[in-house]
Amino acid sequence: MNTQRKSKKADRQVKINQDLLAAVQIPLPWQQNQWHLLVQAHIQNNLPHALLLLGPMGLGKKLFAQAFTQYLLCEQSSQQQHFCGSCTSCRLLQAGHHPNVMMVTATHADMIQVDEIRSLTEFMQRSAYLPGYRIVLIHPAQNMNLASANALLKSLEEPSENVLLILIADEIGRLPLTILSRCIKVNFSSPEPNQAVNWLGERMQFARQEIEVALKQSAGAPFAAVHWLQGSFPELRQQFMRHLLSVDTNKDVTGIEKWLQISTEQLLSLWQQVVLDLLTIVQVKPVTALINSDFNSELVLFSQKCKLSALWQFHDLLNVAVAQIKSGVPVNIRLLLEKCFIEWRRVVIEV
């Protein structure tokens, strides 16, 4: 039975990926303003030499940067506000072989090394193979280490003619001020919840409520929600929610092993959301939009057994635990979770 469920999930994932690839049109609906702003700047010959596309992960900023690159190099774009998709330049870009474009990219766990930035700066100093801009993209820019950032600085201070640098970043706090101050920032933010739900609903075979939950778990970022839905976390979340909400009847306290499989940050974040939902129910009646709306009735039922003061105390305890994890100081996760589970039992009024 397990195998059957797994294969169904795998099929669904393939479908999602194909749908998304086929149906995504850039700029995405929540990127229209940024697109028009940059296109106008280009038309008026006001485009700066360095752009920093900034905003939370999962909004499609890299897709936007690639599309804008294609627009700038398209042989037909002077006639319109978009690339044509069929000229030589567009075809070269779509095949990933345009000689005027270079991109350095890294996974979110890897750093961008100084050698990679040196290759970029050499590329920027060379003369162009084809007419028009030479464009370099760095993603995610916050993954440059100090040496990489310093190597890039010279290009930012003394830009070569007809060169555009596009930096894409999720976390402004990790970028050196020297880099920040030399780029024009273009901010991206999450779409309105309804717009995001509708957009994903048209492209994915998930129920509306599943999409709503995924978006709430992903700070409203559509591609982060897709990633969330495709992972194993939704199922583990359901189990964890049920475990939390049965604490008064479930005498089994040996369940910690299972929760150690989930990243502690993710687990505590989910727990914080459950507490926020319960506080909302207890204090703000009637309940409007819970984060875990798929557990609406279970949360309402559980809230009737909660002590408000104990719930606030637990809220503070979780905040301290999250700060501990984020501080980077080594923490005994098992002890931390055991303490949280013991305190969680105290949230429920004893009968």
Residue 165's SS3 state is strand
Write down the least CB distance from residue 96 to Zn ion, Å: 15
Going across the sheet that includes 50-54, the strands are: 101-105, 134-139, 163-169, 50-54, 184-187
Contacts of 275 (CB under 8 A, 6+ apart): 311, 314, 315, 318
Q: In whole angstroms, what is the distance from residue 18 CA to residue 10 CA? A: 13
Write down the least CB distance from residue 27 to Zn ion, Å: 16
Q: Which stretch binds Zn ion (CB under 5 A): 53-61, 82-90, 184-192, 312-320?
A: 82-90
Residue 112's SS3 state is strand
Write down the least CB distance from residue 79 to Zn ion, Å: 10
Residue 87, interface with Zn ion (CB under 5 A)? yes
Q: Which stretch binds Zn ion (CB under 5 A): 40-48, 83-91, 174-182, 202-210?
A: 83-91
Q: In whole angstroms, what is the distance from residue 318 CA to residue 274 CA? A: 11
Q: Which stretch binds Zn ion (CB under 5 A): 87-95, 198-206, 242-250, 321-329?
A: 87-95
Contacts of 98 (CB under 8 A, 6+ apart): 73, 89, 92, 130
Residue 73, interface with Zn ion (CB under 5 A)? no
- 105, exposed or middle or buried, with CB in 10 Å at 0-12, 13-18, 19+? middle
Considering only residues 16, 52, 90, 221, which one is a binding residue for Zn ion as defined by CB under 5 A? 90
| Terminal Cα-to-Cα distance of the chain (whole angstroms) | 40
Q: In whole angstroms, what is the distance from residue 272 CA to residue 70 CA? A: 42
Residue 74, interface with Zn ion (CB under 5 A)? yes
Comparing CB distances to Zn ion, the nearer of 46 and 80 is 80
Residue 72, interface with Zn ion (CB under 5 A)? no
Residue 53, interface with Zn ion (CB under 5 A)? no
Considering only residues 24, 57, 63, 84, which one is a binding residue for Zn ion as defined by CB under 5 A? 84
Q: Which stretch binds Zn ion (CB under 5 A): 77-85, 161-169, 179-187, 256-264?
A: 77-85
Comparing CB distances to Zn ion, the nearer of 93 and 268 is 93
Number of residues that bind Zn ion (CB under 5 A): 6
**What radius of gyration do the chain's Cα atoms show?**
24
Q: Which spans of this chain sit near Zn ion (rule: CB under 5 A)?
A: 74, 76, 83-84, 87, 90
